[in-house]
A and B are shown apart, each in its own frame.
Chain A
Amino acid sequence: MNCHSILLLVTCVGIFTFASNRSYSIAQEPHSNAISDSPSKSIQGKNPYQVSFADFEWQLRDSAPLFDGRGGIGEKVPTEKAIDLFLKRIKEDPQDYASRTILGELYLRQATEDDNLASYGLAMDALRDALKINANHKPAKFGMAKVLIAQHQFADAISLLLKSIPDESQSPADLALIVDCHLDMGDLAKAKVALNRLAMLEDSPPIVARQARLAELTGHQDEAVELMESALRVVRLGSADPTEWHWYQWRLAGLAFDMGDLPKAHSYVQEILKVDPSDERSTILLAKIQFAKGNPNETLDLLTDLVTSHPSPPTLSMLGDLHETLGDSKSAAKYLDQAEEVVREEALIAKAAHAREAAVFFADHDRHLNEALELIQIDCKQRQDLYTRDAHAWILFKNNRLQEAKAKCVSLTELGAKDLSCLYHATKIHQALGENAIAKTYLQKIINVNPAFSIRYSADVARLQATWEMQPER
């Protein structure tokens, strides 16, 4: 199958084909949508760049019959087909490094779309091959930086980007990657500087989303919500495809959950699941929301359904934890064993990219605690952000290295008093050291926001709350 026929299959029916079949095509109805000049219909006096199609829509309501959905625009070539197309181009011309670069980008897209970790390796191979032919091909270097980030080699990625692309040439896309690296490495000051430069170049939703992330990481949750809401508004305006809104809605749901606003969180995930009932991360979040609302049976139903289609470590782990909470230790062990198996598989393929996740899973479930320590040390070499330090502290605590855990423990000030998992870890570390007064300050924050934030730890939070006779502060 040649390139053209592939694209023919996967893009659209020829525009002429359907235009000639329509009753409003040239031959049948030559003046169908033409509208004459009329001051009453104009946007005279308005800035033409602050006008959109919606400003005219009222007068067009009866004019243009809607297309019936055949072909047309808005469709994309499926990634697998696009990969085939570029593989063919490379076969025809092995020296075509531009096509090799595009192929690398397509493998990267496949990896993220399908969660296919092996595709990262293929992406890197394609990009390396491109650079073997043209060592100065910057797009290939940029693609490699993205793969390095995917593999959590943040320092290498940022070094590659800064070496390849001088400051004055950095595009918003370059800067966004640099911001991502700094955010992941926990270097918030540098992230802020790069983000400010980025915002001067562009204020699109992806950039506003990064501003929101920075606000969140510095404890400004309300600002993060405002920013995400504004980003979502723009995304809605720019696309009628609700699936393009989902990431923003999911982020807003997560922020609302972390702030204890369960109704709002619930509303956002429901909007997503109405359109895409198979959305895994929204279902996981809905399960957490239901649990926090005191509906463990609904949580159980959601996770049991989800685990059949998405047996991923978070789902398996949460389901195991839920069974344990509900007193079914046999089922709990079954799902947790499965989770461990998948965590190990992923860690094998993705190496450092899954080290922290695996380490925290082991620590949470008191499994392989020495290995957890080794894994988190691998992650520490890649980044020193808040979450890695918190995980390190938690794993040291589980290994009964309390003073070291305390030294790593993320402080209330750093946390902006918002991340409940980190607060819980700090509570337990200080409690174990007999520092109950400090432990209580952390626990109080959890009680105030959302004591049922975690399926695994909510019972312990309730127990501590009762032991220390603490109440939510209003």
Chain B
Amino acid sequence: MGMPWIFNRLFTGLVFVGLFAVNPLLGSDHLDSPGVKVDGSVDINDLYAFQSPTNPANVVFIITVNPFAGVLSGTTLNPAGVYELNVDTNANGTADHVFRFYFSAARRGVQRYVVTRANGNPFVSGQTGQVTRLQNGGSVTVGLFEDPFFFDLNGFNNGFAFTGRDFFAGANITAIVMELPRSTFGTNNIGVWASTVLQGRQFDRKGRPAINTVLIPSTMKNQFNSTQPAFDSALFGATVRTSLLGLGNSPERAASLASVLLPDILTIDTSSSAGFLNGRQLANDVIDAELSLLSNGAVTGDRVNANDKPFPAQFPYLGAPN
């Protein structure tokens, strides 16, 4: 489950409101205005990118949304939203390949979708709950799955007093899963980030796990989410360095780390089957890795070392929903 918004809501203060579309605020004589909700459907929880375990010629991308789908969030994708997978092939922080997902409204438990390329050409269409195989050997699916994220969230928020209890055990998310031939990008070394756009405005974005969550203060999170990675160093470099200093890093290490962590793009050598920091695999314990990295070894882990459910070996690699 995703770091940015779920952290914001459950831990650092902002809140899930209006559990679903209409959350009347009672009172016998109220008009019961619908609640303003944090829209879980465009709230990116996590981004994964890894070499396909079933076909090393392919690379897999997974974007998850709807934290605690069905309980705190809905389970659908937003028909008014645009879901983007951005791929940078020349390390300049701008997208050279963009895959945009557009969804229909849900009818009878299904949403149809179209994916376009950056030039606006449709690339593939499908519907949730199905796997669509691409002619070039890739596959796409969108649906409800078990949440692959694992983390002792309460321990984190309790001054790193970790108990090893996975807060996200039993939770579901909605995921977009796309497996593409690595040759699509013309290079093995790519940078990836996901973004969601609602009503013409970028609502959220995600590269590496926890960058926004841990290193960007709450007052700047919205700004961070609405900007492009290419501007990260200029806009947020000083802020990230300050945060890293606060986590016990020396000025030199903070500067060095900031230059690696920004722009917030998940980099991967697709020719390698290695995991995080080379992309991010589902089973990677990114929390342990990041806690250790960001705290300069002062905090080594949350004692949750694996997901509560095993990951299937085949596409789409995510577990069935709880």
Among B128-159, those with CB < 8 Å from A are 128-135, 139, 141, 143-145, 153-154, 157-158
Contact with A along B237-281 (1 / 0, CB 8 A): 000000000000000000000000000000000000000000000
Among B79-104, those with CB < 8 Å from A are 79-80, 82, 100, 102-104
Q: Are B31 and A251 in contact (CB under 8 A)?
A: yes
Q: Are B121 and A3 in contact (CB under 8 A)?
A: no
Q: CA A326 – CA B112 in complex, angstroms?
A: 54
Q: How far is the CB of A84 from chain B (nearest CB, A)?
A: 11
* Residues on A with beta carbons closer than 8 Å to the beta carbon of B23: 109, 112
Q: Are B114 and A56 in contact (CB under 8 A)?
A: yes
Chain A CB within 8 A of B50 CB: no
Q: CA A180 – CA B135 in complex, angstroms?
A: 53
Q: Are A73 and B174 in contact (CB under 8 A)?
A: yes
Q: Are B28 and A353 in contact (CB under 8 A)?
A: yes
Q: CA A13 – CA B252 in complex, angstroms?
A: 52
Q: Are A4 and B112 in contact (CB under 8 A)?
A: no
Q: Are A357 and B130 in contact (CB under 8 A)?
A: no
Q: Are B128 and A73 in contact (CB under 8 A)?
A: yes
Which one of A15, A77, A180 contacts B129 once the chains associate, using CB atoms below 8 Å?
A15
Chain B CB within 8 A of A425 CB: no
Closest to A202 in B: B36
Which of B69-77, B180-188, B204-212, B291-299 lies at the binding interface? B69-77
Q: Are B29 and A73 in contact (CB under 8 A)?
A: no
Q: Are B121 and A37 in contact (CB under 8 A)?
A: yes
Q: CA A204 – CA B23 in complex, angstroms?
A: 14
Chain A CB within 8 A of B313 CB: no
Closest to A151 in B: B27
Q: Are B105 and A68 in contact (CB under 8 A)?
A: no
Size of the A side of the interface (Cβ < 8 Å), in residues, is: 131
> In this complex, which of B120, B123, B128, B312 has the most chain A Cβ atoms within 10 angstroms of its Cβ?
B120
Among A111-131, those with CB < 8 Å from B are 111-112, 120
Closest to A37 in B: B121
Q: CA A393 – CA B225 in complex, angstroms?
A: 51
Which of B55-63, B164-172, B227-235, B282-290 lies at the binding interface? B164-172
Residues of A within 8 A of B (CB): 2-8, 10-12, 14-19, 22, 24-26, 30-39, 41-57, 59-60, 63-64, 66-77, 82, 85, 89, 92-93, 95-99, 101-102, 105-106, 109, 111-112, 120, 134, 138-139, 142-143, 146, 149-150, 152, 164-165, 168-169, 171-177, 180, 184, 198, 202-207, 209-210, 213, 234-235, 237-241, 244, 247, 251, 313, 346, 350, 353-354, 356-357, 387
Residues of B within 8 A of A (CB): 9-39, 68-72, 74-80, 82, 100, 102-114, 116-117, 119-135, 139, 141, 143-145, 153-154, 157-158, 163, 165, 167, 169-170, 172, 174, 197, 199-200, 218-219, 309, 312, 315, 320-322
Assuming A112-B23, A180-B25, what are 10 further A-B pairs, CB within 8 angstroms? A14-B321, A53-B103, A64-B130, A72-B109, A73-B75, A102-B72, A149-B27, A204-B199, A209-B33, A247-B34
Q: Would you list 14 pairs from A and B whose C-beta atoms are within 8 A, ordered by A residue?
A: A6-B322, A14-B321, A52-B102, A67-B110, A93-B165, A98-B167, A99-B167, A134-B157, A146-B25, A150-B27, A173-B38, A180-B25, A234-B80, A354-B28
